[in-house]
Structure 1
């Protein structure tokens, strides 16, 4: 602003006081560091949490996670469940509106859920809603979309029929895949419905600007049913996958929240910022996937040998400063419905014994010293912690087997897009955060039918059969036993090598109020406030 404009603005402001006008209150802004640029803002095609954080500020599902990570009513005010556990009847809030002022209706939810399962949409996460009656058949093109078990009873009453009782269904509805879209907007604007100035959303905020790789701005939605209790006027997301830069911006007070920082900074940051540093244990697993479509990773002996030789204690203590825990199971501990997960059979061996056994297996398979050379490429998404893990694992494989290991990294969106689209690789880093607190969510990743998240294209008929059996089992104890059998088989085959049970690392400014650490890593801006 030029000096002349400053003088003019000052004069106008003083004039307003002189004539008795009320001064305009300062706008409250939350500056949120996000760990990368979203691939999309179309809920049908999202899969990672940096997209989820944005979308859940813009849209509201039938259910949501509150500040403590508990499932509570969202766009649906109440619901009833039939005695057989198969039919949910949701009553939408009478005052639920889209950001253009039009009412949120049951028809919008029917349209949104049908859109997710429609094979023409090609939604990568369509399987998460397969508990809905006919969802899988619709998604596979076996029955028409209108056969999906969803019905608008009236404008504000939605009925959802399930294939089988699903105890965690309300948690599924809190997932970003189940977020609604405005039927009118999508039909009018097509793929452009996600653009600023075009997007019509029903959450606490509306999208007003998006400059890729720079920032995304959302402003308070005055049409939101609970707008009176939304304390922050504007939320600006910054897509920063450079963790050092993210920390610098937090320290410079340019950002109020920074998601994920380099674990080797943990002690320093705790000394400088105390309770502003949050290490929140979560239902998440850090793992490497092997591409089982090609040799030598099609050989279970090679996969087991590579997995066994990785010193998980070193990764947890030296790279993550104890903020993550060694893991030998795909399912993380802490799920009440599952109990202790089924660990790999080598979990109780000492690291030296593991390495000796790994060398034997690799020689059996004809690789390593005296056999075929091992040339391994590790792919990972750009991140200092992931780079350090990959470097350490490369050293372990070099020292144990004489392997030649190279590293390739891409930004987070490109990395996962490559894997989800079926790109070939040797070994790839991945992480999975629970969409809902059930072991099935982690084990289903390795189903041969999971074309999106079974990155290594693992196929095992026995594993698939056990998972199918678990879906048909209603008794919780019997179901848990079946899932344990499936996980034990998965850990024997090692198409994926779990390394760590993760924690979420956040920097939260002491200006931010209302923050609560929670296992599902849900932190809607509507539950926060900012004090100067």
Structure 2
């Protein structure tokens, strides 16, 4: 057995042959509902249905229905065939080959080919596209991706090739053993070149859009709803049961709960603090699912950021003063866990970091916070400190920012101002550095700590704090090529826990009210990736 074969076997079949269709698996004897629809609530208008433009969780959920990448995930988060039926790498993981199925077609009847992936990946890193996820091409270590993004090389120099219609080859600038795991990310999905060239930036509108996934977008009313309907051209359409999927934009969590209870929604998030009551009253409906996501606050480390928070001691003090146990046990109350590091503990390829303040009592953290702030010249005997906390519209975000602000004021004398913005304006302000402190949430793009830790790379597109540490940059680059990077990942977390460019607050649990008629929700997928094609609705 070769080295590659051994490792790939250990990585849960990196070389994967055709598997049974991962669509709805309706058991014998189940009675399906006549109405095979699924309606759910999203907090904000999603960024885009374009695979190379989308940058938010809600939008990615929609894109996973509309488009299909090389690899999907099963209910447990394991990689399974999508458009690709098998994949393999060379000995040093610098070249990956994907064999595409011959029965995949676009919704206009055109075959899905390797050329569609080449076009999409080049489009991702092309500066003309202005993709917010262009950096993902760098993260994939595609040859010349960095130079293309920087405008120093031509798009056609990207390390991806269609050998023929059904063979895609990716060439990497560095070894990347988990490359195949990244293929379930929306930014790697194919794009229909002929449609984009015909319609330009209007190509994603209903009536124009052409997709290769299990669904087609039939209606989109911004800030209100989007509707996707089953695509009869999808290669596994006969095993897709849910026919219509509707995402409704409802900014208010309590209003969404009321509409769920009235039967208007099949799924909605549980409002903050209400899970214990709802779980007791509706045990078959209220569910909490741990997931690989972290809620955090960014400090603005740009030149225009507050002078005070450029001081590491101030950042540490503000972090220590947040009582994470109070937040998860008294405010959220839905299975979340305190976060003292960025990547959720338990991810693959991660040793547990030694973070000193995690082991202190809250009283010890508070006392040290007061000392640090005083050492930096702030507090009762120094300069007053005022900070704005930026967050996007949500009652949960508002409540959490209020609690954090109260903790800072009561313990440290820090005055805070809450700054609320709608989603897209919030994204622009955070990206442009128009904030003092801003909320952030990050969910794993694949099950490896690098999906979190790469946000600390100086050049990362989602390094909203604009943190820069040359040692961390070098360690991140080194970790990419290692089969076992657990030790380096641990060291990075330990450095970040001292320099504190962000404040990790808690690791998520997704608390939902889910219609019991909806079956096969992937509760064991820690990345919280779900596909409407895998669901079905039983009769009441």
TM-score by length of 1: 0.91
Runs of 4+ residues deviating >4 angstroms: none
The answer as to 2:293 corresponding to 1:316 is no
Structure 1: gaps of 5 or more residues: 1-24
Write the deviation string for residues 191-247 of structure 1: whole angstroms up to 9, x where unpaired. Answer: 111111100000000011101121111111111000011101111111223111111
Distance in 1 (alpha carbons) for counterparts of 2:427 and 2:225: 21
Write the deviation string for residues 68-105 of structure 1: whole angstroms up to 9, x where unpaired. Answer: 32211101122232233222221211110000111111
Which residue of 490, 493, 501 maps to 2:496? 490
Distance in 2 (alpha carbons) for counterparts of 1:410 and 1:205: 32
The answer as to 2:222 corresponding to 1:212 is yes
Distance in 2 (alpha carbons) for counterparts of 1:78 and 1:313: 45
Distance in 1 (alpha carbons) for counterparts of 2:246 and 2:293: 27
Aligned to 1:10: none
Where in structure 2 are the equivalents of 1:175-194 lying within 5 Å?
Answer: 175-194=185-204
In the alignment, is the contact (CA less than 8 A) between 1:203 and 1:224 conserved in 2? yes
Distance in 2 (alpha carbons) for counterparts of 1:507 and 1:475: 40
Which residue of 464, 468, 474 maps to 1:465? 474
* Worse overlay, 266-275 or 102-111: 266-275
Distance in 2 (alpha carbons) for counterparts of 1:355 and 1:381: 28
Aligned-partner SS, 2:425: helix
Shift of 1:342: 4.4
Over 3 Å counting, the alpha-carbon distance change for 1:417 and 1:430 in structure 2 is same
Aligned to 2:293: 284
In the alignment, is the contact (CA less than 8 A) between 2:377 and 2:383 conserved in 1? yes
In the alignment, is the contact (CA less than 8 A) between 2:295 and 2:442 conserved in 1? yes
Aligned to 2:247: 237
The answer as to 2:375 corresponding to 1:367 is no
User: What value does the CA root-mean-square deviation take over the aligned residues?
Assistant: 1.6
Distance in 2 (alpha carbons) for counterparts of 1:32 and 1:169: 32
Which residue of 90, 95, 116 maps to 1:87? 95
In the alignment, is the contact (CA less than 8 A) between 2:119 and 2:193 conserved in 1? yes
Where in structure 2 are the equivalents of 1:373-392 lying within 5 Å?
Answer: 373-392=384-403
Aligned to 2:52: 44
Aligned-partner SS, 1:44: coil
In the alignment, is the contact (CA less than 8 A) between 1:165 and 1:474 conserved in 2? yes
Aligned to 1:529: 536
The structure whose Rg is larger is 1
Distance in 1 (alpha carbons) for counterparts of 2:144 and 2:332: 44
Which residue of 506, 509, 512 maps to 2:512? 506
In the alignment, is the contact (CA less than 8 A) between 2:45 and 2:249 conserved in 1? yes
Write the deviation string for residues 403-458 of structure 1: whole angstroms up to 9, x where unpaired. Answer: 211111123333223212x13211111111111111111111122111x3111111
Shift of 1:385: 2.2
The answer as to 2:125 corresponding to 1:113 is no
Where in structure 2 are the equivalents of 1:52-131 lying within 5 Å?
Answer: 52-130=60-138, 131=141
In the alignment, is the contact (CA less than 8 A) between 2:352 and 2:490 conserved in 1? no
Aligned to 2:211: 201
Which residue of 271, 278, 301 maps to 1:269? 278
Aligned-partner SS, 2:403: helix
Where in structure 2 are the equivalents of 1:130-169 lying within 5 Å?
Answer: 130=138, 131-169=141-179
Matched pairs, number: 501
Aligned to 2:262: 252
Aligned-partner SS, 2:282: helix
Distance in 2 (alpha carbons) for counterparts of 1:322 and 1:266: 5
Which residue of 332, 336, 344 maps to 2:348? 336
Write the deviation string for residues 349-385 of structure 1: whole angstroms up to 9, x where unpaired. Answer: 1211211111111111111112111111111122222
Distance in 2 (alpha carbons) for counterparts of 1:112 and 1:51: 17
Aligned-partner SS, 2:203: helix
In the alignment, is the contact (CA less than 8 A) between 2:313 and 2:373 conserved in 1? yes
